[in-house]
Amino acid sequence: MTKVKESSTIQENKQTAFKECPVTYVMEKIGGYWKPIILFHLLSGSKRYNELRRAIPTITEKVLTQQLKQLEADDLVIRNARPVIPPHVTYSLSASGLAMKPVLYAMAVWAIEEGNTNPAISYKSLNDFPGHNSPFIGTPVSTSLTHELL
């Protein structure tokens, strides 16, 4: 990987954006198509690489590997490798990754409210959503997020 020039205009703009908008920081960590999906699947507990592959059948091996490495580098995912033959590697959410649970749930509820998903399937999966009975997660997104942000 090439070293990023810290004095470049792009880096200066990025640092300014981080200071002015907290969403920029979040998108830097979980932005992209696959990262939120991987985090969602890890909410239910530790998974091996092939379990994630089966849970997300449309992701390629290369992309899954890259995304897991990035999530690990950003301290959202913990890679636990046991020194056995064959190697036994599991991925789980770090404390920071677990803190994303309400965000991921809010994203799922928002998609349902926007009508961009099959409600019958979505409501079943939201009821199965890990931790959906927690105080924050059980409330409607529009109400809880509005009050939290105001």
The string of pLDDT tens digits covering residues 52-91 is 999 999 999 999 999 999 999 999 999 999 988 888 999 9
Residue 122: partners with Cβ closer than 8 Å, 6 or more residues away? 108, 111, 112
Mean pLDDT over 1-17 rounds to: 67
Q: What is the pTM of this model?
A: 0.72
Find all residues with CB under 8 Å of 59, minimum gap 6, and list them.
34, 37, 53, 67
The whole-number pLDDT of residue 124 equals 55
For the chain, percent of residues with pLDDT exceeding 90: 40
H-run or E-run covering 35 = helix 35-42
User: Tens digits of per-residue pLDDT, 96-150?
Assistant: 999 999 998 888 888 777 876 766 665 555 666 655 554 444 444 444 444 444 4
